[in-house]
Structure 1
């Protein structure tokens, strides 16, 4: 068999991939995971009673902007890594922007707060459960993203898993804002980020196992 015959045989029954198939598949997995997490927030943790009032303040949107921007960057990077020739470009570096921005806000908070109150501002009232909650709330989203990506064609499995975990963690943290009443940027920078990093670490471990094709 010549090379031309082999190519013709392999390509004989190929069907064109529908346009935007990647976006639809990832969107489905992400949407199902977000829905499951949203139900978990409402059913297990409960929405904060002053949510409507909080949404009229800057603090709620600073937290949300931080987590959503990280989620967006990680999700785009994951989409690019879902292809065999996927390159993340500058999307991972772009994630430093919200981190540095929130760090600057946290430094401003420290500068305006008496030193004796720094520890209370850092720990808040829920530091013992915050990172754990963010991690656990991200699990359904992570499962949905793994389901989506494993049917595609990633080749950098550790990185793809890490980015999928980071995306899941950031979306989970975004939904956790609906429950969490903490207002300190230093708190969010520490404990929210720790939960997201934990999910990214799980993604690095699971990537080679769950995304192999």
Structure 2
């Protein structure tokens, strides 16, 4: 039997994949992971006591605007890498947009703030713990995305793991906003982003081991 005949025989009983299957699978894993991350936050750190009033202010929505837009862009990349035909990633440049916008807001803060207060504004009250909390909250979301990938066919395993880690980190930072009292854009740009990068690095490290099929 030659190769073409073998491929034809193997493919004879395959069924076409319904449109939207990849998106639905990833959405289910993401929602389950986000629910788990939220439950961890509620039981571990708890929401900030002034959450209701904080949600009426600019700072809260500045943080959510950054983390949610980064998460959506990362999710698009993750969905592409979940497929075997992921050689050319589209819209990868969108990941830079929220970073650039938050950098612009941070520069505006620095211009309006006396230089003697820059260090306190940058470090806030929780710079030592913020990245590690984001990384911890990314765990359930990363597990949910890994569950999604088990029924998909990624071929670039390290890149797919990194994208899943980036998505998990960005959504975890979104959940962490419900607790975090920090209000500075340069704090968010530095320490939230560090937590997201840690999650991305862990995903890249584990991807080749956990996504192999």
After TM superposition, is the score higher than 0.5? yes
Unaligned runs of at least 5 residues, structure 1? none
TM-score (norm 1): 0.96
TM-score (norm 2): 0.96
Q: 1:103 matched to which residue of 2?
A: 103
Alpha-carbon distance in 2 for matches of 1:112, 1:120: 14
Q: 2:51 matched to which residue of 1?
A: 51
Q: 2:155 matched to which residue of 1?
A: 155
Q: Deviation per CA, 1:142-197, whole angstroms, max 9, x where unpaired?
A: 11111111321111111111111000000000010000010000100000000000
Q: Deviation per CA, 1:44-72, whole angstroms, max 9, x where unpaired?
A: 11011111111111111110010011100
Alpha-carbon distance in 2 for matches of 1:3, 1:159: 30
Distance change >3 Å, CA 36–CA 43, structure 1 → 2: same
Unaligned runs of at least 5 residues, structure 2? none
Is the contact between residue 77 and residue 88 of structure 1 (CA under 8 Å) also seen in structure 2?
A: no
Alpha-carbon distance in 1 for matches of 2:32, 2:176: 16
Q: 1:117 matched to which residue of 2?
A: 117
Alpha-carbon distance in 2 for matches of 1:158, 1:177: 28
For residue 12 of structure 2, give the secondary structure of its aligned residue in structure 1: coil
Q: CA deviation at 1:2?
A: 4.2
Q: 1:146 matched to which residue of 2?
A: 146
Q: CA deviation at 1:204?
A: 0.8
Q: 2:200 matched to which residue of 1?
A: 200
Q: Deviation per CA, 1:3-46, whole angstroms, max 9, x where unpaired?
A: 55323321222122233211111111111100000111111110
- The count of residues paired between Structure 1 and Structure 2 equals 213
Alpha-carbon distance in 1 for matches of 2:119, 2:95: 27
Alpha-carbon distance in 1 for matches of 2:4, 2:58: 63
